[in-house]
Amino acid sequence: MSQRLAPVTNPVTIEVDGESLTAEAGEPVAVAFVAAGRTTLSRSIKYHRPRGPFCLSGGCSQCLVRIDGVPNQFACQTPARSGMRVERQNAFPDASVDVLQATDFVFKKWFNHHEFLAGVPVVEKVMLQIARKLSGLGLLPEKPAPERPKPVIEAAGVVIVGGGAAGLAAARRLEERGVTFLLLEREPACGGRLLVGCDDGAPAIVVPKSAQVRTGATVVGVFADEGRRFLAVVQNERLHLIFPERLLLTNGGQPTLLTFPNNDLPGVFASRAVSRMIRKHRVLPGKRIAVVGEADEAKQLAKLITTSGGTPLAVGAEPVRVHGLRSVQAITVSAAGKTEKLDCDAVALCAPQSPAFELARAAGARVGWDARARLFAVEADAAGKAAAELWVAGELRGPMSAAAAAEQGLVAAEAIAAAVKGATP
Amino acid sequence: MSKALLCPCEDVTSSEVEHAIEKGYCDVESVKRFTGFGTGMCQGKQCLTAVARLLEDKVQPKPKPSQLMAFTPRPPLFPTELSLWASASFDPAKAPGGGVPDAIGLTEHALKPEHPVPAKAKVVIIGGGILGLSLAWNLAQRGETDVVVLEKGYLCAGASGRNGGGVRMQWGTPTLIQLARRSIELMGRFARDLGVNVWFRQGGYLFLAKSDAVVAKLERAAALHNQHGVPTQILTPDAARDVVPHLTMTGVKAAAWNPLDAVVFPWPFLWGYAHAAQKLGVKVETFTKVVGFEQRDGKVTKVITDRGDIACETVVLAAGAWSPAVASLAGVALPNEPHRHEICSTEPLKPFLGPLVSVLDSGLYFSQSMRGEIVGGMGDPKEPAGMNLGSTQRFLTRYSQALTEQLPQAGRLKILRQWSGPYDVTPDNSPILGRTPGLPNLLQLSGFVGHGFMMAPAVAERMAAWMATGESDELFERFTLSRFAEGRLEREDMIIG
């Protein structure tokens, strides 16, 4: 069972499929679900498998719900507000008991949609009609969108995307060098893994004071419509189009999914989702938490779980299979040549993050397969330069500690400062 | 309950990806298209690493690091509401610029097979899009199996993998109406003939007209449709709203409605034709580029590729918008020009939209795919000619403004991804078919101006018959390349965008 590590100080009531759920005001809806022990947020698109939050960072699709009549909202990115109306999607009759999960049992391994009933007279037509009815996730929004203000269009010198270990270090160094910059952070506060990870020896969070730091600002794209590069940024439901002279990307990575049977069952979390819930939201997602995967990270997370009153198990073991019908009940792991099944109520997957290379690639960087880490990473020179007026630092370039990411941020900032000075007569 | 999920958004399991590998899809872009992984709400953030690791473990011989390539990220980076894109403005007088580059073309070198292409073949088809592959299958059906299809990228890399999947009978000339009717018939039985589901859905096409000139065009076309057995009706705006209740009819003067038009999922057509043709003996060579031609006595004798030469009797040029570039290698000038058309897709929704809706005045079109996404685009009158597959914010803004005007609730939907594909535009909006003046064994099969996908099944059927029997067919006499020099144009005006 999950538990709150601190009492709710500012309770709000949200409505979930007509029932009430108490949440801490402003915490993500997904966290309120986990804290209340409600694991299933929706049903998956084909097999109607139960789905619960996984990454808690807007990088997967496992917590999508309908909120106040708008479909497919990330419950992990939506702060709980009083009176909010949450509906779980894609389930019949409801997300807890969904008869359509029969498809999951009928198609044991997978469903060959290319060939299933292809060309069988009459049956084929019925199949198409059923497939159409079952397709899709949410229902059309109830209402048109409210009138949005015109976008803010602005020019900027240096723009840093991502206020984690690398971005904050770079920001401080640019400030020291007297270079003006704008830092954009997607989360409500800067820190990234420093705030939600569990690295031993991670640097402290120091946000430059004089700088222009914008939190809650999501970069949704880098475009070059008329040959000039610009960022499309969404902040407070308003679009900003920012034209930077130089761009430093430090937007880190996404949790990496490990592959084993039932890896999608509610209660299986990315390791940083677990540390995030404990450190930021004071919620322990289970009593007995299997901490599997990469050994160093697992040890650090296990320590955090122990100090929070939970029991870590199978620390650093290899996950073989998760057991449970609607949520995690046990896990089979393999360690030192031995396989064992252990009861648990949550699983944390420890693995180096997969670099979030999309923005860098769209801005002109090269992306290659890192054969050692077995991830796609952004390629750059020693100073972090990846393309014309584009620098990258931190986990975008591959797995590394928070301290190493900060060091890369400093190096890139020095290079940018030199470029700015060199360009200024 | 024992699935290992690789892509939880689209419920793609590890067994499904292993099946794709067995079918010969061994690179990330091909596996994405064959399984649908990476096309859901997270757009590959969660699944890409897991899929690439499985490829590294299972593909034989083991891929080199340079052969493991991430798929092209499609903007936006996070799902973003149409209302936000619509809030921006754009200058309609300016031409759209480059945009976020597409990686098509980057993959060829590393993924090029090491073994050479066959040294000879009776027919070489250049272009592994729907036109080339459907022709190959039709030839094989007629017993001509000594055919090699050359594709420079992966299957679905070109316009055949980038279009909106609309198929309609509502055209402006008898030839296209008849070809489209036959194509729709063939698409309706594709699963029976080729064993692959293409999710053919006859939800109709609803054209909206906002000016008297477009109303007149629709009326003219509808009369022609009725003469050729297509039941197109001209509707009042109120009657059109009965067809799609969520639409606003602001500014709409009339609509044209044919319930027999349809929407398909384009990708499976390519695998369907390719697999069936290969079963009959056709060779489909992907990641193989044509770099030249050998000619003797007014004939093409060899096709030169980056994997060796192929001696052949007949060459068919079916490379879509890339055809002029390939033709120039043989010293042939084609008048086709590539024009970028941008397109995008929203999150998947439960079914609410039956037909494909198009505003002919502005070039806006949108439909709901079998997976539930709203897929749509909008031609840009200022788009310059040239091969450009970039994606722009300008397009998202134009499209979002136009779509939310017609379907206000769409303002709260989110764009998941945008991409673009090239229309293969000819001076008279009609295709280029048949023999090349001066090089009679180089056959043309291009210039379909954005509707090659829907015409392919019918055109390929007739072209295979024409090639195999030698019997004359007016299609390959009228639409020849020589018509431009002779000033014999075949104008088609029911082009979207």
- Closest CA in chain A for residue B95: A226
What confidence score (pLDDT) does residue A95 get?
Answer: 78
- Closest CA in chain A for residue B40: A61
What confidence score (pLDDT) does residue B106 get?
Answer: 57
Q: Which two tokens stand for residue B316?
A: 């068919």
Q: How confident is the model at residue A424 (pLDDT cuts 50, 70, 90)?
A: low
Report percent pLDDT > 90 for chain B. 94
Distance CA(A306)–CA(A348), nearest Å, equals: 14
CA angle in degrees (0–180, nearest 5) for A300-A303-A306: 155
pLDDT at A404 over 60: yes
- Same domain for B20 and B158, yes or no, is no
Distance CA(B392)–CA(B99), nearest Å, equals: 5
On chain A, the residues whose CB falls within 8 A of the CB of B20 are: none
Rg for chain B, CA atoms, rounded: 22
Q: How confident is the model at residue B107 (pLDDT cuts 50, 70, 90)?
A: low
Q: Is A92:A100 a contact under the CB 8 Å cutoff?
A: yes
Per-residue pLDDT, averaged over B274-296, amounts to 97
Per-residue pLDDT, averaged over B99-113, amounts to 73
Q: Which two tokens stand for residue B193?
A: 């003939």
Model confidence pLDDT, tens digit, residues B341-384: 999 999 999 999 999 999 999 999 999 999 999 999 999 999 99
Q: Does B374 touch chain A (CB under 8 A)?
A: no
SS3 A305: helix
Annotate A246-263 with DSSP letters as a single string: EEEE---EEPPPP-STTT
Q: Is B400:B102 a contact under the CB 8 Å cutoff?
A: no
Q: Which two tokens stand for residue B50?
A: 């897991």
C-alpha separations of B34 from B18, B155, B161 in Å: 11, 10, 11
- Same domain for B63 and B121, yes or no, is no
Annotate A59-117 with DSSP letters as a single string: SSSTTEEEETTEEEEETTTSB--TT-EEE--S-SB-SSSBGGGHHHHHSSS---TTTTT
Q: Is B370:A131 a contact under the CB 8 Å cutoff?
A: yes
Q: Choose one of B71, B93, B127: the last residue of a domain.
A: B71
Q: Is A334:A345 a contact under the CB 8 Å cutoff?
A: no
Smallest CA–CA separation between A109 and chain B, in Å?
6
- Same domain for B65 and B113, yes or no, is no
Mean confidence (pLDDT) of chain B:
95
What confidence score (pLDDT) does residue B101 get?
Answer: 77
CA angle in degrees (0–180, nearest 5) for A310-A315-A321: 100
In chain B, residues 226-285 whose CB comes closer than 8 Å to chain A: 246, 268, 271
On chain A, the residues whose CB falls within 8 A of the CB of B370 are: 128, 131-132, 135
At the second CATH level, the architecture of A3-134 is Roll (3.10)
Q: Give the count of domains, chain B.
A: 2
**What are the residues facing A249 on neighbouring strands?**
A161, A392
**A152-161 and A181-184 strand pairing:** parallel
- Closest CA in chain B for residue A365: B101
**How many other C-beta atoms lie within 10 A of the C-beta of residue A339?**
12
**What are the residues facing B140 on neighbouring strands?**
none
Model confidence pLDDT, tens digit, residues B21-37: 999 999 999 999 999 99
Q: How confident is the model at residue B490 (pLDDT cuts 50, 70, 90)?
A: confident
Q: Of all residues in chain A, what percent are helix, strand and coil, respectively (each to 5)?
A: 25, 30, 45
Mean confidence (pLDDT) of chain A:
94
A5 φ/ψ angles, rounded to the nearest 5 degrees: -90, -10
Per-residue pLDDT, averaged over B297-326, amounts to 98
On chain B, the residues whose CB falls within 8 A of the CB of A258 are: 50
DSSP class of A372: T
- The verdict on whether omega for the bond into residue A261 sits within 30 degrees of 0, i.e. cis, is no
- Same domain for B332 and B456, yes or no, is yes
Interface contact flag, A144 B408, Cβ < 8 Å:
yes
**What are the residues facing A24 on neighbouring strands?**
A11
DSSP class of A165: H
Q: Does B54 touch chain A (CB under 8 A)?
A: yes
On chain A, the residues whose CB falls within 8 A of the CB of B16 are: 109-110, 112
* B210 within a domain of the structure (yes/no): no
pLDDT at B136 over 80: yes
- Closest CA in chain B for residue A377: B70
Q: Which of B42, B44, B37, B41 is nearest to B16 (CA)?
A: B37
- Same domain for B148 and B22, yes or no, is no
On chain A, the residues whose CB falls within 8 A of the CB of B46 are: 54-55, 59-61, 254-255, 257
- Same domain for B298 and B154, yes or no, is yes
Distance CA(B487)–CA(B450), nearest Å, equals: 23
* B343 within a domain of the structure (yes/no): no
* B42 within a domain of the structure (yes/no): yes
On chain A, the residues whose CB falls within 8 A of the CB of B11 are: 44-47, 49
In a 13 Å sphere around the CA of A152, the CA atoms on its Cβ side amount to 12
Per-residue pLDDT, averaged over B226-239, amounts to 97
- Same domain for B22 and B146, yes or no, is no
On chain B, the residues whose CB falls within 8 A of the CB of A133 are: 351
Smallest CA–CA separation between B121 and chain A, in Å?
31
Smallest CA–CA separation between A309 and chain B, in Å?
30
Distance CA(A196)–CA(B167), nearest Å, equals: 50
Per-residue pLDDT, averaged over A220-232, amounts to 93
Annotate A317-357 with DSSP letters as a single string: PEEEEEE-SSS--EEEEEETTEEEEEE-SEEEEE-PPEE--
On chain A, the residues whose CB falls within 8 A of the CB of B404 are: 144-145
Rg for chain A, CA atoms, rounded: 23
pLDDT at B265 over 90: yes
Interface contact flag, A220 B81, Cβ < 8 Å:
no
- Closest CA in chain A for residue B373: A136
pLDDT at B202 over 90: yes
Per-residue pLDDT, averaged over A47-57, amounts to 95
The residues, ordered by sequence, that sit 6+ positions from B470 with a Cβ below 8 Å of its Cβ are: none
Smallest CA–CA separation between A165 and chain B, in Å?
21
**What are the residues facing A338 on neighbouring strands?**
A335
* B419 within a domain of the structure (yes/no): no
* B174 within a domain of the structure (yes/no): no
pLDDT at B290 over 70: yes
Block residue for tokens 């002029």: B324
Q: Could you give the ipTM of this predicted complex?
A: 0.96
Distance CA(B194)–CA(B269), nearest Å, equals: 9
* B454 within a domain of the structure (yes/no): yes
Interface contact flag, A361 B73, Cβ < 8 Å:
yes
On chain A, the residues whose CB falls within 8 A of the CB of B247 are: none
The residues, ordered by sequence, that sit 6+ positions from A146 with a Cβ below 8 Å of its Cβ are: B83
SS3 A40: coil
- Same domain for B271 and B330, yes or no, is yes
Per-residue pLDDT, averaged over B442-462, amounts to 97
On chain B, the residues whose CB falls within 8 A of the CB of A139 are: 349-350, 352
Q: Is B247:B241 a contact under the CB 8 Å cutoff?
A: yes
Domain that holds residue B299: 108-162+267-336+428-486
Q: How confident is the model at residue B103 (pLDDT cuts 50, 70, 90)?
A: low
Distance CA(A413)–CA(B353), nearest Å, equals: 51
Q: Does B142 touch chain A (CB under 8 A)?
A: no
* B409 within a domain of the structure (yes/no): no
What confidence score (pLDDT) does residue A423 get?
Answer: 78
Q: Of all helices (H) and strands (E), which one includes residue A127?
A: helix A123-134
Interface contact flag, A51 B8, Cβ < 8 Å:
yes
Amino acid identity of B153?
A: G
* B415 within a domain of the structure (yes/no): no
Q: How confident is the model at residue A58 (pLDDT cuts 50, 70, 90)?
A: very high
pLDDT at B1 over 80: no
Indicate which CATH number applies to the domain containing B46.
1.10.10.1100
Q: Is B161:B33 a contact under the CB 8 Å cutoff?
A: yes
Domain locations along chain A? 3-134, 152-254+353-423, 268-350
Indicate which CATH number applies to the domain containing B433.
3.50.50.60
C-alpha separations of B454 from B113, B139, B262 in Å: 31, 19, 10
On chain B, the residues whose CB falls within 8 A of the CB of A62 are: 8
Q: How confident is the model at residue A115 (pLDDT cuts 50, 70, 90)?
A: confident
Distance CA(B108)–CA(B302), nearest Å, equals: 22
The residues, ordered by sequence, that sit 6+ positions from A84 with a Cβ below 8 Å of its Cβ are: A12, A14, A15, A29, A67, A68
Q: Which two tokens stand for residue A160?
A: 């840093």
On chain A, the residues whose CB falls within 8 A of the CB of B390 are: 224
**Is A3-134's fold the same as A268-350's?**
no
Distance CA(B173)–CA(B493), nearest Å, equals: 8
Q: Which fold has domain A268-350?
A: FAD/NAD(P)-binding domain (3.50.50)
Model confidence pLDDT, tens digit, residues A28-40: 999 999 999 998 9
- Same domain for B135 and B19, yes or no, is no
CA dihedral of residues A333, A336, A337, A341 (deg, nearest 10): -20
pLDDT at A111 over 90: no
**What are the residues facing A51 on neighbouring strands?**
A42
Interface contact flag, A257 B87, Cβ < 8 Å:
no
Q: Does B296 touch chain A (CB under 8 A)?
A: no
Instruction: For residue A44, give the nearest of B8, B87, B352 by CB distance.
Output: B8
- Same domain for B440 and B312, yes or no, is yes
SS3 A276: helix
Query: If one looks up domain A152-254+353-423 in CATH, what number appears?
Result: 3.50.50.60
Q: Which of A157, A404, A419, A363 is nearest to A249 (CA)?
A: A363
- Closest CA in chain B for residue A144: B409
Instruction: For residue B77, give the nearest of A137, A221, A325 by CB distance.
Output: A221
Q: Is A15:A81 a contact under the CB 8 Å cutoff?
A: no
In chain B, residues 13-32 whose CB comes closer than 8 Å to chain A: 13-16, 19
HEC secondary structure over chain B:
CCCCEEECCCCEEHHHHHHHHHCCCCCHHHHHHHHCCCCCCCCCCCCHHHHHHHHHHHCCCCCCHHHCCCCCCCCCCCCEEHHHHHCCCCCCCCCCCCCECCCCCCCHHHHCCCCCCCCEEEEEEECCCHHHHHHHHHHHHCCCCCEEEECCCCCCCCHHHCCCCEECCCCCCHHHHHHHHHHHHHHHCHHHHHCCCCCCECCCEEEEECCHHHHHHHHHHHHHHHHCCCCCEEECHHHHHHHCCCCCCCCCCEEEEECCCEECCHHHHHHHHHHHHHHCCCEEECCCCEEEEEEECCEEEEEEEECEEEEEEEEEECCHHHHHHHHHCCCCCCCCEEEEEEEEEEEEECCCCCCEEEECCCCEEEEECCCCEEEEEECCCCCCECCCCCECHHHHHHHHHHHHHHCHHHHHCEEEEEEEEEEEECCCCCCEEEEECCEEEEEEEECCCCCHHHHHHHHHHHHHHHHHHCCCCCHHHHCCCHHHHHCCCCCCCCCCC
In chain B, residues 448-487 whose CB comes closer than 8 Å to chain A: none
On chain A, the residues whose CB falls within 8 A of the CB of B78 are: 58, 218, 220
Q: How confident is the model at residue A387 (pLDDT cuts 50, 70, 90)?
A: very high
Interface contact flag, A369 B68, Cβ < 8 Å:
yes
Interface test with A, best of B13, B37, B57, B248 (most A CBs within 10 A): B13
Q: Does B49 touch chain A (CB under 8 A)?
A: yes
The number of C-beta contacts closer than 8 angstroms across A and B is: 289
- Same domain for B278 and B332, yes or no, is yes
Handedness of CA A128, B44, A236, A273 (dihedral sign): positive
